[in-house]
């Protein structure tokens, strides 16, 4: 069996084999890698506990499968191209040979600072090559990285540090993002005031601004590297040893630490990268995500590097210094595969096609989308203007919890259907169920999306709280992994993802739990109760709309609204700041005291049709007030 699928027929055959004999299928893919010790059993699982073990008792180090395995043929091939925020500044090209040395040197530096196998290391950094090196160095020594998006607040960072009891934080002085310079080290300092686990902080000089360095705790990156050897013997890891923790929002409580382990994640990110993007040996591949999200982990760093690809990393934002920046970069590096989010497409769509026409995009072979459902209009705009009508568009559906792409066309192989994630990858067994969990077979069905069989890169647990993993993903429907998304299978059997069916809002491809935002709002001393919902937003996909009761406050609603917005920004970060805050006299409640979000969603969407029956509410009179307050009467 070839690893790379080359035709629809290959796809059908491989898909069939992966379902009939998953263990044989995945063991053949795993044979591409170097193992210090082979597995005793490919898969052991039950979705009740839940417990999932891939490649049981095997030993390996993921970075050996990037470096030692590929160096004989890839020593001088570019591994990472780094394009800085400032378009005039010099880019960096790192070959596989250079990246290996950088990884080993930093691995030795981490060890010298006391980091051991199993320790948790927080990476709170800009999009610079050192961030990728840091991830790889952790994997090299067996430390567990947890990358925190550098746009999160000190409180959000502190919560994550405390949850995983991180021993070290890797950060930078500042972070260039478009015309902004974000003082990240200052945020780390503030976070560390409320945590007790972190012993050392290593700080990369990026912007050169003055930062406070705490003696004995804070060290400069260069200082930490001094005198360290560029050779390092990889730590042998068990297949199921933790590779990383990545925090993500759900419908309840604080963000959960999604745990990914070594071998299964390695096998699946490699396999999915090669097949979805149809990467060829000399291609230049670019994914515009941030390494703070799962897309950055799987498809900027691990998948591409395991496949020996050239992966481009961009520090900046799509519209700086001009709205053609993405296309300028595509031309500059002759990018072949370009992978971005619908929100970025819609934001660029606003500028029309003029910025696109200035640049030569003829190198593009494949364009991709991820993070949220792509609407048909954006799909066509992207396909026609960026892909010039002749690049396959891969609409890739997956999640932090799935580790890798689950449902997607394979570029140039699966016939393209606008706004359809289309077909599952080999080894992935999605099903659509009704509210009772009964599988809806056949075509033309719509319901909740579940996965009924394990895949190698699936979530193993939520860090420190296995019960929460069980409750969130394996309890809604017995014996299945529940995605939280709705989906439809059309008359051709192609899947279309309809978006979240739980209390998760997808803002510009970033997941926000309504409960998380409500908790932040409730910190305001004058807020008695709040409710948060999502509503359709032209560019962001969804926007955040908050309702808050502030009885007895002397402040004007305008003042309260602004204070609440700023508070959420402070507690979680700019991405969670509500677009709208409406001060209300009450929230619509059912007789059992539950907030009727359905009504609030209608108000937030400015669509009062089919409001439904409100007579069963405990307080039907507040609905009129809310409608009036929203200016909809």
Q: Which residues bind ligand 7RM (CB under 6 A)?
A: 248, 293-295, 369-373, 395-400, 421, 483-485, 497, 499-500, 506, 509, 511
Minimum distance of ligand 7RM from residue 487's CB (angstroms): 9
> Residue 354 burial by CB count (10 A; 0-12/13-18/19+): exposed, middle or buried?
exposed
Please, what is the minimum distance in Å from the beta carbon of residue 373 to ligand 7RM? 4
The nearer residue to ligand 7RM, 177 or 496, going by C-beta atoms, is 496
Beta carbon nearer to ligand 7RM, 513 or 578: 513
**Cα 351 → chain centroid:** 26
Q: What is the distance between the alpha carbons of residues 52 and 319, in angstroms, rounded to a whole number?
A: 43
CB of 606 to ligand 7RM, least distance (A): 23
From the CB of 483, what's the least distance to ligand 7RM, in Å?
A: 6
Of residues 340, 348, 347, the one with CA closest to residue 372: 340
Of 181 and 416, CB closest to ligand 7RM: 416
CB atoms within 10 A of CB 412: 16
Closest CA to 2 of 24, 28, 21: 28
DSSP secondary structure of 277-334: HT--TT-EEEE---TTSHHHIIIIIIHHHHTT-EEEEE-S-TTSSSTTHHHHHHHHHT
CB of 305 to ligand 7RM, least distance (A): 18
Shortest approach of ligand 7RM to residue 117 CB, angstroms?
Answer: 27
Q: Give whichever of 287 and 413 is closer to ligand 7RM, judged by the CB atom.
A: 287
Q: Which helix (H) or strand (E) holds 147?
A: strand 144-147
Assess contact for 621 and 615: CB atoms under 8 A. Answer: no
Contact call for residues 588 and 546 (beta carbons, < 8 A): no
Which of 219, 339 has the CB closer to ligand 7RM? 339
Ramachandran region, residue 403 (left: φ > 0; alpha: ψ -120 to 50; beta: rest): left
Of the candidates 140, 161, 143, the residue with the CA atom closest to the CA atom of residue 152: 161
Which lies closer to ligand 7RM via its Cβ, residue 108 or residue 337? Answer: 337
Taking the complex as a whole, the smallest distance from the CB of residue 192 to ligand 7RM amounts, in Å, to 27
Half-sphere exposure of 57 (CA within 13 A, CB side): 4
Q: Identify which of residues 308 and 373 has a Cβ nearer to ligand 7RM in the complex.
A: 373
Q: Are strands 366-370 and 337-340 parallel, antiparallel or unpaired?
A: parallel
State the DSSP H helix or E strand holding residue 11, giving kind and residue range, or none if neither: helix 8-20
Q: Identify which of residues 122 and 287 has a Cβ nearer to ligand 7RM in the complex.
A: 287
Q: Which is nearer to ligand 7RM, 130 or 395 (CB)?
A: 395
Smallest distance from ligand 7RM to CB 133, Å: 23
| CB of 136 or CB of 287, closer to ligand 7RM | 287
Min dist. Cβ of residue 457 to ligand 7RM (A): 12
DSSP E strand stretches across 465-598: 481-489, 495-500, 504-507, 510-513, 529-537, 541-549, 580-584
Least distance to ligand 7RM, CB of residue 266, Å: 18
Peptide bond into 321 cis (omega under 30): yes
Gap between the Cα atoms of 88 and 399, Å rounded: 35
| Cβ proximity to ligand 7RM, 123 vs 294, nearer residue | 294
Instruction: Specify whether the CB–CB gap between 417 and 460 falls below 8 A.
Output: no
Q: Read out DSSP for 578-627?
A: -SEEEEES---B-TTS-B-HHHHHHHHTT--TT----TTSS-THHHHHHH
Quote the least distance from Cβ 30 to ligand 7RM, whole Å: 23
């Amino acid at each position: 069996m070839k690893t790379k699928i080359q035709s629809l027929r290959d796809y059908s055959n491989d898909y069939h084999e992966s379902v009939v004999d998953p263990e044989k299928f995945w063991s053949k893919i795993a044979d591409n890698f170097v193992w210090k010790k082979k597995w005793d059993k490919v898969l052991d699982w039950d979705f009740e506990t839940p417990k999932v073990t891939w490649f049981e008792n095997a030993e390996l180090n993921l970075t050996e499968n990037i470096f030692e395995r590929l160096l004989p043929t890839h020593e001088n091939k570019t591994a990472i191209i780094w394009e800085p925020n400032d378009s005039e500044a010099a880019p960096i090209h790192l070959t596989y040979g250079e990246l290996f040395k950088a990884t080993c040197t930093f691995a030795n530096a981490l060890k010298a600072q006391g980091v051991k196998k199993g320790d948790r290391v927080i990476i709170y950094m800009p999009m610079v090559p050192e961030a990728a090196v840091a991830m790889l160095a952790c994997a090299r020594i067996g430390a567990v990285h947890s990358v925190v998006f550098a746009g999160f607040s000190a409180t959000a960072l502190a919560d994550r540090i405390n949850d995983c009891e991180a021993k070290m934080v890797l950060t930078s002085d500042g972070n260039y993002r478009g015309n902004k310079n974000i003082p990240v080290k200052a945020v780390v300092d503030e976070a560390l005031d409320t945590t007790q686990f972190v012993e050392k902080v290593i700080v990369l000089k990026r912007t050169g601004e003055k930062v406070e360095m705490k003696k004995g705790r804070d060290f400069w990156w260069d200082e930490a590297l001094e005198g360290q050897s560029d050779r390092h013997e990889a730590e042998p890891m068990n297949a199921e040893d933790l590779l990383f923790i990545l925090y993500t929002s759900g419908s309840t409580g604080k963000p959960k630490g999604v745990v990914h382990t070594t071998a299964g994640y390695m096998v699946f990110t490699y396999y999915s990268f090669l097949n979805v993007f149809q990467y060829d040996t000399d291609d230049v591949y670019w994914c515009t995500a941030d390494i703070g999200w799962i897309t950055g982990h799987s498809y900027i760093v691990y998948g591409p590097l395991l496949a020996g690809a050239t992966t481009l990393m961009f520090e900046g934002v799509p519209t700086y210094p001009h709205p053609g920046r993405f296309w300028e970069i595509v031309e500059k590096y002759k990018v072949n595969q370009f992978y971005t989010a619908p929100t970025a497409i819609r934001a660029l769509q606003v500028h029309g096609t003029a910025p696109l026409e200035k640049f030569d995009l003829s190198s593009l072979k494949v364009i991709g989308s991820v993070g949220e459902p792509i609407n048909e209009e954006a799909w066509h705009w992207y396909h026609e203007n960026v892909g010039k009508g002749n690049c396959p568009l891969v609409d890739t559906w997956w999640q932090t919890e799935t580790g890798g792409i689950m449902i997607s066309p394979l570029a140039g192989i699966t016939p393209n259907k606008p706004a359809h994630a289309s077909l599952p990858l080999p080894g992935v067994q999605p099903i659509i169920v009704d509210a009772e969990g009964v599988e809806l077979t056949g075509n033309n069905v719509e319901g909740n999306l579940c996965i009924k069989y394990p895949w190698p890169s699936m979530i193993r647990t939520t860090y420190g709280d296995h019960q929460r993993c069980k409750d969130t993903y394996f309890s809604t429907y017995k014996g299945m992994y529940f995605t939280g998304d709705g989906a439809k299978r059309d008359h051709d059997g192609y899947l279309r993802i309809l978006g979240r069916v739980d209390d998760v809002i997808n803002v510009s491809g970033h997941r926000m739990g309504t409960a998380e935002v409500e908790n932040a709002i409730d910190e305001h001393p004058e807020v008695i109760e709040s409710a948060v919902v999502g509503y359709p937003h032209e560019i962001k996909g969804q926007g955040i709309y908050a309702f808050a009761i502030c009885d007895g406050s002397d402040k004007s609603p305008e003042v309260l609204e602004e204070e609440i917005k700023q508070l959420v920004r402070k507690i979680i970060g700019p991405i969670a700041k509500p677009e709208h805050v409406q001060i209300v006299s009450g929230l619509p409640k059912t007789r059992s005291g539950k907030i009727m979000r359905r009504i609030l969603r209608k108000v937030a969407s400015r669509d009062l049709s089919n409001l439904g029956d409100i007579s069963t509410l405990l307080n039907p009179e507040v609905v009129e007030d809310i409608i009036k307050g929203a200016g909809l009467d």
